[in-house]
């Protein structure tokens, strides 16, 4: 019988990746694991418990209508991370400002606790996205904004959880990407997708084409290129768009494709947030052999200037992103 590796075992085995951690980093990942189990359980009951479905009577800092499960997921991740005592601060999509925690904590976490939450009511996959950095302010002092405004290339780990037909936790600590599927029967995440890599080529493009005429000529020309019949395959690319960044990215990572959320006339800086959506997804993309760009600049090289900064995002197979950049540059 083939040996099964649990997430807990995997984290312990990989502790040598962080020789100065003395267990703090492992406790941090364990907190994310715990919170994702709780959120997964609640999401799976969404059709049975009407009090967790639908919109809450509030908006987040982005001016977006909060879903009840947005608030629930945010609270669960904050509580789990706070209890580990290794986090000095958290930045969340659902909070206007960062949350200071243990002054002695070594790490900060930026997160989107429930990406694509408006899909909950129609039973479509949603996710959690997280990004981890070492603080740059001195330990023993309160966390500062500068701790969060670090370039994505300084992340020590990043990942996402996808809640769909199964719950999967996918993450990287800079040594490749590994995916773990949750087995509710025994209550553990099991290594199911070791060393995840983008396929060499892909034929999927993921974009909300309802924004087509609201985009630049360059973006429009890339979509026209994607819809052109390929001489080798005698077919165009396939358009697939779920409306949940985690779900769209996860599919393209496994099947091969490019995800696009460009700047538009109504959102000239893009819509996705750099710190807790684009940076962690870009980190995973690069570790899986892909890439991520704002259309001209590598996402992980962008210097953040504010907590909820927005940027365009093009991510997926390198050749596909490079082609998009080429067409954008020419227009």
| pLDDT band (50, 70, 90) for residue 13 | confident
Residues 231 and 182 both lie in one domain: no
Predicted TM-score (pTM) of the model is 0.94
The two structure tokens encoding residue 184: 């509710």
Report percent pLDDT > 70 for the chain.
91
Of 151, 167, 193, the residue that ends a domain is: 193
Domain identity same for 237 and 156: no
At 283, list the tokens: 């980190």
Strands (E), 117-203: 126-134, 157-163, 167-172, 177-183, 188-193
Q: How does strand 65-67 pair with strand 87-92?
A: unpaired
pLDDT band at residue 300 under the 50/70/90 scheme: very high
Residue 171 and residue 317 share a domain = no
How much is the pLDDT for 58?
Answer: 53
Asked if residue 295 has pLDDT above 60, the reply is yes
In the structure, what pLDDT confidence band is assigned to residue 1 with cuts at 50, 70 and 90? very low
Structural contact between residues 92 and 308, judged by C-beta atoms closer than 8 angstroms: no
How far, in Å, CA of 198 to CA of 161, rounded? 18
Mean pLDDT score, 98-118: 94
User: For 172-181, 233-242, 283-292, 306-315, which range has the lowest pLDDT when averaged over its residues?
Assistant: 233-242
Residue 261: closest CA among 249, 272, 248, 274: 272
CATH number at residue 158: 3.30.540.10
Residues 88, 153: one domain? yes
State the Cα torsion 176-275-109-117 to the nearest 10°. Answer: -90
**Residue 2 belongs to some domain of the structure:** no
Task: Specify whether 297 is located in the same domain as 187.
Answer: no
Region 5-16: mean pLDDT is 85
Lowest-pLDDT choice from 11-20, 21-30, 46-55, 93-102:
46-55
Give dist(CA 331, CA 322) in Å, integer.
15
Residue range(s) defining the domain that contains residue 21? 7-193
| Beta pairing, strands 87-92 & 126-134 | unpaired
Q: Is the pLDDT of residue 68 over 90?
A: no
**Is there a domain that residue 291 lies in?**
yes
Span of 131-145, 230-244, 263-277 with lowest mean pLDDT: 230-244
CA distance 277 to 147: 17
Binding-site residue ranges for Mg(2+): 93, 112, 114-115, 277
The mean per-residue pLDDT over the stretch 132-155 comes to: 97
**pLDDT score at 14:** 79
Residues near 111 by beta carbon (within 8 Å), at least 6 away in sequence = 77, 90, 91, 92, 93, 128, 129, 130, 131, 276
Last residue of a domain, one of 174, 193, 212: 193
| Domain identity same for 310 and 211 | yes
Residues 27 and 89 in one domain: yes
Asked which of 193, 219, 235 is the last residue of a domain, the reply is: 193
Is a pLDDT exceeding 90 seen at residue 22?
no
Are residues 176 and 275 both part of a single domain?
no
The four Cα atoms 216, 221, 224, 230 give a dihedral, to 10 degrees, of -150
The alpha-carbon radius of gyration of the chain (Å, integer) is 19
Count structural domains, the chain.
2
Asked if pLDDT for residue 18 goes beyond 70, the answer is no
248 plus 120 within the same structural domain: no
* pLDDT value of position 65: 58
DSSP letter for 275, please: I
207: pLDDT strictly greater than 80: yes
Domain-embedded: residue 121:
yes
Whether residue 38 sits in one domain with residue 146: yes
pLDDT at 60 over 70: no
Q: Which residues are registered as beta bridge partners of 67?
A: 55
Q: What is the CATH number of the domain that holds 234?
A: 3.40.190.80
Give the pLDDT band (50/70/90) at residue 121.
Answer: confident
Which residues are annotated binding-site positions?
A: 93, 112, 114-118, 208, 241, 271, 277
Residues 163 and 221 placed together within one structural domain of the fold: no
Of residues 76 and 48, more confidently modeled: 76
Query: Is 166 a domain residue?
Result: yes
271: left (phi over 0), alpha (psi -120 to 50) or beta: alpha
Average pLDDT, the chain: 91
- Which of residues 241 and 45 earns the better pLDDT score? 241
């Amino acid at each position: 019988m083939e040996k099964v590796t649990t997430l807990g075992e995997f984290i312990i085995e990989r502790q040598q990746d962080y020789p100065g951690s003395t267990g703090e980093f492992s406790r941090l990942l364990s907190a994310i694991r715990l919170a994702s189990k709780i959120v997964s359980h609640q999401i799976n009951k969404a059709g049975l418990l009407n009090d967790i479905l639908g919109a809450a009577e509030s908006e987040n800092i982005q001016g977006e209508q909060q879903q009840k499960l947005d608030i629930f997921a945010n609270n669960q991740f904050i509580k789990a991370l706070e209890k580990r005592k290794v986090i000095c601060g958290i930045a969340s999509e659902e909070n206007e400002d960062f949350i200071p925690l243990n002054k002695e904590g070594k790490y900060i976490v930026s997160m989107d606790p429930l990406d694509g939450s408006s899909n909950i009511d129609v039973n479509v996959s949603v996710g959690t996205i997280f990004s981890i950095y070492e603080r740059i302010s001195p330990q023993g002092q309160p966390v500062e904004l500068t701790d969060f405004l670090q370039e994505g290339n300084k992340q020590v780990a990043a990942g996402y959880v996808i809640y769909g037909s199964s719950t999967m936790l996918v993450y990287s600590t800079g040594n490749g990407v590994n995916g773990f599927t949750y087995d509710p029967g025994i209550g553990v995440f099991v290594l199911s997708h070791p060393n995840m890599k983008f396929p060499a080529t892909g034929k999927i493009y993921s974009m909300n084409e309802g924004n087509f005429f609201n985009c630049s000529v360059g973006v429009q020309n890339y979509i026209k290129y994607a819809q052109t019949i390929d001489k080798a395959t005698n077919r165009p690319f396939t358009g697939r768009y779920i409306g949940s960044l985690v779900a769209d990215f996860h599919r393209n990572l496994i099947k091969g494709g490019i995800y696009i959320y460009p700047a538009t006339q109504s959102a000239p800086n893009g819509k996705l947030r750099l710190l807790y959506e684009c940076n962690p997804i870009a980190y995973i993309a690069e570790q899986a052999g892909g890439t991520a760009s704002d259309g001209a600049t590598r996402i992980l090289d962008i210097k953040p200037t504010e907590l909820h900064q927005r940027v365009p995002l093009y991510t997926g197979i390198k050749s596909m992103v490079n082609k998009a950049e080429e067409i954008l540059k020419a227009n």
